[in-house]
Amino acid sequence: MSNVSANSEYVSYLDHHGKYKGIMSWIMATDHKRIALLYMYSIMTFFIIGVVLGIMMKLEMLTPGETIMKAKMYNSVFTLHGILMIFMVVIPGLSAVFGNFFLPIHIGAKDVSFPKLNRFSWWIFVVGSIMAVLSQVLKDGPPDTGWTFYAPYSTTTSSNVIMATAAAFVLGFSSILTGLNFIVTIHQLRAPGMKFFNMPLFPWALYATAWIQLLATPVIGITLLMLIAERAFHIGFFDPALGGDPLLFQHLFWIYSHPAVYVMMLPAMGVITEIIPTFCQRQIYGYKAVAVSSLAIAGVGFLVWGHHMYTSGMSDTARWFFSLLTFIVAVPSAIKVFNWITTMYKGSIDVKPPFLYALAFIFLFIIGGTTGLLLGSVATNVQVHDTAFVVAHFHYIIFGGMGFAFFAAIHYWLPKMYGRMYDFKMANIGLVINFIGFNLLYFPQFVIGIQGMPRRYFDYPAKFQPAQLVSSIGGFILVTGLIIMIYTLVKGARKGAPAPANPWRGSTLEWQIPSPPSVENFDEEPVIKENPYDYK
Amino acid sequence: MFSKASNFVYGVDSAFLIITGISVFFLVVLTALMIYFVIKYNRKNGKPAQQIKDNMALEITWIAIPMIIVLYMFYIGWKGFIPMRVVPEDAIEITAEGSMWKFKFEYPGNKIADTLVVPIDRSILINLKSVDVLHGFSVPAFRIKEDMVPNKPNYSWFTAGELGDYDIYCTVYCGLNHSNMLGVIRVVTQQEYDKWLLTLHEKLKDSPQGMKILEKNGCIACHSLDGSKVVGPSFKGIYGSKRKVSTSGSEREITVDDAYITKSIVDPGADVVVGYPAGLMQPYKSLSESDLKLINEYLKGLK
């Protein structure tokens, strides 16, 4: 699978199995690149399960009333879809896969600071994932609380909430340890000559992300423990019947879960910031603004959680405060969009699949972001909160944003990771189908959300059916596109033509080393440019 | 162009239109720019890329302008919202109570209704409360939505401006039949309202204690008191009757007595009445023995 290199000492990380053979050479691997692939294979598996659950919901929504399943099952399906997709796919997603693979290379390092801790983080991830799967099959039945576990329903339902929350608790540690590892790596292992402002912008995004992972994740850990204690020992934190306060749960939950959205989005923005300069052969416009806006988003993002709770009976002062900050956090995201588009100006644009995915990302992200303004504004929030509008907004941000950025990243970096190239034509066909399917699936949800269709409804009034039908058809189209995309990528990684070291004429360090990289990344000391996006 | 269904439609919809308008403008302009750049600066045209230096003034402009725009959006959103929290003093006060999975409305004079009937052009204050888990009180046509939180009073208010029936939805997920938790607001003239009020029954001042426990635990959402089949068997006449039940897959006939009722509450999956789905009801293990006794007493009397 490796390329023949002029350097006789070169051994691809894919061929170098170290002390162990076969599957153990992967499970016991400490190489950041092998760990990245381990995360990718596990995350893709959960993603496919999550998509199957999504399609089951779309089938159920084809007609009002019972279509293919009963209400109890539907409630469990959307709960599991949320838990899988949020905690096991999009939160680890970009930073665990592409962060692990490219962060050390981007800063000229041989590995992360703590390779064994990195391996341990993946093991924890696997244990947490197994627990999440167990919560589905154990005696009390799959959890039916929604991924938000709102109390007091979650403290009183008979379903298997303890196992599901314990799974999320364990998964949190994987996230905390990865964040810690990345922060230390960026501080300690930058190659000589690489200052913070000489780093590419993907490490910048990961740096901001890592701080959120490290500081916010413990809050959800504590919250879930409190929930478990309440269920197991009847300690009244959240249930008013036991003297608790249900709003306390919502506050604690969103103190983590809102910043978690930035754990998903910041690396996505980082990926796009890498792809656009490469395919335009132009240095990124406003390097410092883009770098600092990542930190600004991470910082202000900590203080906006209350916009999930405008109608919860929270005080009016709190609603005012959270709405104001929510609008302010929109600005650094807008800055990034302006800088991306300006980077295309007077470039030499090569329209290849990764770049097309980046364009699709920007389009979907603008829709997702601006519909977020309608949710952040208190008056309009009252109309669309807890409706299908939120579902649409969230999927535009997380799937259209983080998901399409993940697809962009895999199309961009696959030749580097596997040393082989995929078929461009097939990749473009997959992209177009994905884009059409995505918009058909989620756009109608905006419309019926404005008309009042609540979210998490097993049944719905007949007037919403035409939009539900379009949405379901979009779902099937999207799945077709995903199948084509995954087939193209897998075929490319296994049997594609050997890829050169720098197929896209990129300027960052990963393109200066062979494809796939050797075990220690840099067999010679890397040359650090003052400007990472120097295309001259 | 705005509906007159309630006094909040104008404030909410104008904020909606302005924010959506600005958003669509940016979406169209930015998308058009992207497409234009991709065509104009395509590599196929053979022109090399030009490196362009950052321009501080430009950077500051596109920080400042979005900042002004979002602060304006915040302002109109807040302006549209404030009136929702300021209730006129002459408002008619009605209490809406959410329980799994229905709304109930309590009118002055301790009267109870299933439909929220209100007079047109009068301010109506709705006190929101929940007896079990979180619920949402949402009337899309009126642009109002507030949550019903157990043990924590919340409220909403409106003045309806058009006659007719409007949907109420529960918007906070509340378990099995969340999507069946629907209600209706009927806006009528003042005369019709006054007439309708007279037809309302007064709530029993002291409902039996057993009944209170059933209400508190949301039992009657699934088990009716009037013989109608909802999710589970009706409570009416159940005590002392003979039922066919399925015990671990095999059918047998039992007589409903204290032991059977208690067991069905604590372990609902043990003996399921034939014709009803198993596994829907959760076990209620936290009920005390005296509570269970009171329930049995009450059901005995419910012929």
Handedness of CA B217, B221, B225, B230 (dihedral sign): negative
Phi, psi of B239 (to 5 degrees): -70, 130
Structure confidence at residue A137 (pLDDT): 84
Name the range with the highest mean pLDDT among A191-200, A270-279, B247-256: A270-279
Report yes or no on A17 lying in a domain.
no
| In-domain check, residue A63 | yes
Residue span of the structural domain in which A97 resides: 24-512
Mark yes or no for CB contact A455/B170 under 8 Å. no
With a CB-CB cutoff of 8 Å, which residues 494-533 of chain A face chain B? Answer: none
> For B74, which of A146, A327, A338 is closest by C-beta distance?
A327
Interface of B with A in 212-231 (CB under 8 A): none
Chain B interface includes A161 (CB < 8 A): no
Instruction: Please determine, looking at this structure, whether the domain spanning B209-301 carries the CATH number 3.40.190.10.
Output: no
Q: What is the pLDDT of residue A327?
A: 95
Q: What pLDDT score was predicted for residue B52?
A: 86
Distances from the Cα of B84 to the Cα of A317, A378, B80, B145, angstroms: 14, 10, 8, 10
Residue A2 has a pLDDT of: 41
Query: What string of DSSP letters covers A369-389?
Result: HHHHHHHHSHHHHHHHTTBHH
Min Cα–Cα distance to chain A from B92, Å: 21
CATH architecture of the domain covering B92-199: Sandwich (2.60)
From B21's Cα to the closest Cα of chain A, the distance in A is 10
> Pick from A280, A370, A451: which is nearest to B27 by CB?
A370
pLDDT of the residue at B203: 66
ipTM: 0.91
Suggest the residue from A348, A359, A367 to mutate for an interface test with chain B (most B CBs closer than 10 A): A348
Residue A15 lies in a domain: no
Q: What is the CATH number of the domain that holds A177?
A: 1.20.210.10
Contacts of A370 in chain B (CB under 8 A): 19, 22-23, 26-27
Q: What number of C-beta contacts closer than 8 Å exist between A and B? A: 247
Domain membership flag for residue A319: yes
Q: What pLDDT, on a 0 to 100 scale, did the predictor assign at position A450? A: 95
Q: Copy the structure tokens of residue B163.
A: 């006659």
Query: Which A residues, 173 through 232, put their C-beta within 8 Å of a C-beta on chain B?
Result: none
* Cβ separation A348–B41 shorter than 8 A: yes
**Is B209-301 the same fold as B92-199?**
no
Predicted local confidence at residue B205, as pLDDT: 58
Q: Give the closest of A349, A380, A451 to B140, CB-based.
A: A451
Q: Residue A208 has which token pair?
A: 């901001």
Judged by a CB distance cut-off of 8 A, whether residue B184 touches chain A is: no
State how many domains chain A has.
1
Q: Do B34 and A344 touch (CB under 8 A)?
A: yes
Q: Could you read off the pLDDT of A5-37 as tens digits, one per residue? A: 445 578 888 888 778 888 888 989 999 999 999
Is the residue at A1 inside a domain? no
Contacts of residue A160, defined as CB under 8 A and 6 or more positions apart, other chains included, come to A135, A136, A138, A139, A140, A141, A142, A143
User: Cβ of A152 and B152 within 8 Å?
Assistant: no
Q: Report if residue A209 sits inside a domain.
A: yes
Tens digits of per-residue pLDDT, A152-191? 889 888 888 899 999 999 999 999 999 999 999 999 999 9
Domains of chain B, residue spans? 9-85, 92-199, 209-301
CB contact under 8 A, B51 and A324: no
Residue B114 touches partner A, C-beta closer than 8 Å: no
Burial (0-12, 13-18, 19+ Cβ within 10 Å), B129: buried
Residue B173 CA to residue B175 CA, distance in Å, equals: 6
Mean residue pLDDT across chain A: 93
* pLDDT at residue A1 is higher than 70: no
Least confidently predicted of A317-326, A490-499, A527-536: A527-536
Q: Inform me whether the pLDDT recorded for A382 exceeds 90.
A: yes
Quote the CA–CA distance of B251 and B253 in Å, as a whole number: 7
Per-residue confidence in pLDDT tens, chain B, 303 aa: 688 899 999 999 999 999 999 999 999 999 999 999 999 999 998 888 888 888 889 889 989 999 999 999 999 999 999 999 999 999 999 999 999 889 999 998 888 898 999 999 999 999 999 988 999 999 999 999 999 999 889 999 999 999 999 999 999 999 989 999 999 999 999 999 999 998 887 766 567 778 878 877 778 777 888 777 777 888 888 888 888 888 877 888 888 888 888 888 888 888 888 888 777 777 777 788 888 888 888 888 877
